[in-house]
Structure 1
Amino acid sequence: MRFGSIGWGVMTFALAAVSPAFADDDDENKPTPRSIIENAPDSDWRSLDPENTLYMDLPSGQVVIELRPDFAPGHVARIKELVREGFYDGLTFHRVIEGFMAQGGDPKGDGTGGSSKPDLKAEFTRDSAEVEGFHEIGRDRMAPRLGYVNGMPAAAAPEGLRTFLKGGRVDVWPVHCPGVMSMARATDPNSANSQFFLMIGDSRLNLDQRYTGWGWIVDGFEATRRIVRGEPPSRPTPIIRMRIGSDIPASEREDIKVLKTDSATFTDYLKADGDLSDDGFVKDICEIKVPVKAEGELEL
């Protein structure tokens, strides 16, 4: 089963000048993105569900992934099943394109293999009425509604269209930004099986609503930077092992907390960082880093 190719006057005034001292004082009074997060109350942070947390060990370090059955229940169930069978342990990333994605999960190592299990039905989008917690933060030139579902970046059609659309369905879907996990497939939309890919670049235009997003990297994205690039790579990077959090002793799980993306703190953080304008325009959702605390250390 091969995951195929994807097509990709400044005006000046002499009379008025801002006093440097005034500008500095104004800047000093503005909270910084970091200070906003550091002052967030404990109630603005959430822990991960061990049953929906995937640990992927690479030679360069551990990657912690939050599984999202709210977006892709069938695909998440398959990932869990294969992980618990040890299917992915020792397999490699056989197709890695810089600025795009890293693909793995093929026992043949050439993009044509899969598991012995039946192929999966596509879960490209969900009805927004079926996905709890979509928190809209704004819009951009690609989507009328952008936001998050508990940390997972997502886009949606206008809710006001529900009465006009066939079946009364308003779609919401994961956006393919760096760190998002998605499922590889052949030409048939319903042909995903075991192969997956993790995003290392922004490919919303090519992949959104065409591939099934099933999770996002909460911690350890830096370890993916060491995955060897190439089609195929000269020395393919192996997956040492994958484990589900609930199968790991509690003492061995990483203590991770994620800032709630429906909190006022998160909105203030986005505005302070210049990611969100006062009129609701999102500068670049793929550049936004959801704040995380890993073993008590803040990661921005």
Structure 2
Amino acid sequence: MAQSDLQRIAADLVAYFEQARGEVGVLVEIHNATIRNANLLGVLSHRAAGDTRSYVGAAAVELAEASKAVRRAAELLEDSSGIALGWARQAVLDTASGHRVPARPVGAGPTVSEPLPFESLLPGLDPDDELVEEVAKLPKPEQERWQKVFATYPGRDAPDTAKASWYRTAADGENVPEHMRRILRGKAFHYDVAHHFLATEVTINKVGKRGEIKQRFFLDGMTRREVVSLKNAQLWDVSKATAKGYVNEMLRKYNPLQRDLIVAGTEGNKRKISAWGGRLIGRRLRGDMVLGVPPQDQPIPQWLIDYGEKRGVEIRPYSPNQSAGGPS
């Protein structure tokens, strides 16, 4: 091979190597660019994640504040609705009795010293919030019909036996809705066993921090040492939820551990308990909790007895034919 041919081949190889080195350089640049882009993508992802965390954190704070606002609004709504419901019920009673009361300023609620709604349930009747609620739900013609029925009530000063007899007769009347029949028979049971207590239908106020009345309850029976809620039920024959509900209702309405339950200073309360417990008027509700029921056809379920005991509620049958028993 001639010297000139070798020089030409060497020159071509050099050219190839230079071209290859250039292409490798391009690949290196592409690789470096890929790394730079990957790093940039990582930075952007980190920033995005940080922004997302920031946004989520800010949203969580706003959500927490909104939840607080909702709770505050709910508390205000509960307070105002309780007061409004009380005056709505009173309006039903006033309309039924033909009595008119002066209009109240908007937002004005009852105070501890004022007479309570339900003090004159319907003309001549003893107070009972459940009856008021049920009558208020009825159409006007039905309300008028029941007003005529209630007009035959023997009166507050009548013997408890006469009241019990009246309620049984009313419950057994024609065209009585089943829920009303249940309430009326329950009232008959209340008066059948009233001799076990020193006072019945005692008005209890649930008061707010400023002494305003938030809710009102009627305690079925009271002695010096006990507060009693009566349920005309065979506990073995009701659902588990219903049986628990009786105990839970007592805890919600009549639990002396709640410091906001006050024995109301109404004329009815003074008349009922001043002779033996006048010092209780205007003070916190006190006493052991008893859930009273009629004599049972079958044993009270043990799980329910345990459920009540764990919550400080004794379940006790009361018989109309028994003399007064239990702590006085």
TM-score bracket, normalised by the shorter chain, equals under 0.3
Computing the radius of gyration from Cα coordinates, the structure with the larger value is: 2
Identify the structure with the greater strand proportion. Answer: 1
Whose RCO is larger (CA < 8 A, sep 6+)? 1
